[in-house]
Amino acid sequence: MEIRKGLGLQALPSMTLLRELTDQIVLDTVFEQAPITRAEIAQQTGISKTTVSEAVRRLEGAGLLLPAGEQRGRQGRVGTYYKVASTAGFVVAVDLNPTQIRLCAADLFGQPFLESAHPPVQPREPARVAEQLRELVSKAIAEGNPGRGRPLAVAVSVANPVDPATSRVIPLADTPYPEGLIQPQEALDGLIDAPILVENDVNLAAIAERWHGAARTADSFAYVYIGAGMGMGLLIGDQLIRGARGVAGEIGYLSVSSQPPGPLHGRHGFARAIAAAGFHPSREPGSDQVAVDVARQVFDRAAKGNAEAKAVVEEEGRTIGEAIAAVCAVVDPELVLLGGPIGLHPALLEPVRATVQDLAPLPPAIEVGTLGDAAVLHGALALALRRARADLWAGVSRQPS
């Protein structure tokens, strides 16, 4: 029973199941190692040459694989390279955040053919931002459409938690931003016949670091985002821990014992730094961006030796370290990565490490993320790609040609 679920399809034992399995393995292999010949596929997968050839024939017939030149320069018969057809489809990733809307469209290899950033429309009302989102995605699809097949998945990154059951954005009570009130599923409704994946931005950054970044080898790891808010993305194995209601990783709430409750909670992990600089965050648009800049200035001063600023950084590091220590006590990750505009600041790493060293049961490795501010969009793209590839395969096996 569990096995059947694990396969993620109607896994009754049957000839069809066997064929789908072979096709999927062959397709995956080509994805990862194109260009590749049938003989190489066979050798690597352990599947016999004949069977591989059959699978390739099916996949080529379905328009998913294409010949890609000849294998020359060695003894023996000339082999035919294969690759995934560039017309097989494409994906779109969108990062919907208060500062800007970033968009990336890429083919199934992850090769982008469109990248753009846009300031949010003014005035920033939910309905207008939703419309802007729809328009941008629509344009991206039009861009991809002539030669790249059809859109296979769209991933949208949002700054809010997302309900894992319904994939709906959970509006936070104190959100000052209209982005938190948009439901991308609705905004893009009817635009495409492909899954619309909505996910929290920090979770996506975590996915990016895990699949393609500094956490590639870590089996369990936590990505701690420190910027206009403080949040965490948690990956155990290849599984993203979303929580029952999608609020896993809201570690801003952990600092409750050292900070008074209030609207800052869950949003301003570096509250002291900005307060020390005489800045008070408000609900004004752009406030977060300003706050981040202010905090960064404090951190820079600390790096230059300013004692007062240093003390502030120390204290912030301790707060963050306490949160990380709590995470360690709960899930004991192998690695913790810091990210976000504040988290990437080099002055922060040491105080955080020191605190965690002091408090955690068994302190993990703590490093800084390598993907920088590209992590979120990168993660969204990766998520869309994975889904697109899986669906591609399902599409093939549904209509065996």
Partner DNA sequence: TCTAGTTAGGAAGGAGTCCTGACCAAAGAT
Partner DNA sequence: ATCTTTGGTCAGGACTCCTTCCTAACTAGA
Q: Provide the 8-state DSSP code for 162.
A: B
Tokens representing residue 305 in the block: 């030796």
For residues 225 and 259, give the distance between their C-alpha atoms in angstroms, rounded to a whole number: 19
Q: Is 32 helix (H, G, I), strand (E, B) or coil?
A: helix
Largest CA distance in the chain: 75
Indicate the residue among 114 and 390 with the shorter CB distance to a copy of itself.
Answer: 390
Binding-site partner at residue 311 among a copy of itself, DNA, none, CB < 5 to 8 Å by type: none
Site map (CB under 7 A) of DNA, residues 12-51, x = contact? xxxxx-xx-xx--------------xxxx-----xxxxxx
> Is 5 or 72 the residue whose CB approaches DNA more closely?
72
Interface segment toward DNA; rule CB under 7 A; list 68-76, 183-191, 249-257, 362-370:
68-76
Q: CA–CA distance from 175 to each of 179, 181, 288, 373 (Å)?
A: 9, 9, 11, 22
Q: Which does 173 bind (CB under 5 to 8 A by kind): DNA, a copy of itself, none?
A: none
CB neighbour class for 285 (10 Å; exposed up to 12, middle 13-18, buried from 19): middle
Write down the least CB distance from residue 10 to DNA, Å. Answer: 11
Nearer to DNA by Cβ, of 4 and 49: the residue is: 49
Separation of alpha carbons 337 and 221, rounded Å: 8
Count of residues interacting with DNA (CB under 7 A): 33
Contact positions with DNA (CB under 7 A) in 69-98: 71-80
Sort 22 into a burial class: Cβ within 10 Å, 0-12 / 13-18 / 19+: middle
Instruction: Tell me whether residue 252 or residue 369 sits nearer to a copy of itself (CB atom).
Output: 252
Considering the complex, what minimum distance in angstroms separates the CB of residue 322 from a copy of itself? 7
Which residue number, 30 or 312, has a Cβ lying nearer to DNA? Answer: 30
Applying CB under 8 A, which residues contact a copy of itself?
A: 1-4, 6-8, 11-15, 17-19, 21-22, 24-25, 28, 45-47, 51, 218-220, 232, 234, 236-239, 241-254, 256-258, 266, 322, 325-335, 359-362, 364
Report, in Å, the least distance between residue 374 CB and a copy of itself: 25
Closest contact distance (angstroms) between CB of 209 and a copy of itself is 16
Q: Which is nearer to DNA, 72 or 398 (CB)?
A: 72
- 74 vs 173 by CB, closer to DNA: 74
Residue 385 and residue 110 in contact, taking contact as beta carbons nearer than 8 Å? yes
Q: What residues contact 396, with CB distance under 8 A and at least 6 apart?
A: 23, 27, 58, 59, 62, 64
Tokens of 28: 């995956």
Minimum distance of a copy of itself from residue 65's CB (angstroms): 17
Which of a copy of itself, DNA, none does residue 400 bind (CB under 5 to 8 Å by kind)?
DNA
306 binding DNA? (CB under 7 A): no
How far is the C-alpha of 163 from the C-alpha of 326, rounded, in Å?
Answer: 24
**Tokens for 248?**
């896993």
C-alpha distances out from residue 25 to 13, 56, 264, 342, Å: 17, 11, 49, 42
78 binds, among DNA, a copy of itself, none (CB under 5 to 8 A by kind): DNA
Is the N-terminal amide bond of 176 cis, ω within 30° of 0?
no
Measured between alpha carbons, how far is 117 from 130 in angstroms, rounded to an integer? 16
Which is closer to DNA, CB of 47 or CB of 228? 47
Segment 366-385, which members bind DNA (CB under 7 A)?
A: none
* Positions in the binding site for DNA (CB under 7 A): 12-16, 18-19, 21-22, 37-40, 46-51, 53-55, 71-80, 400
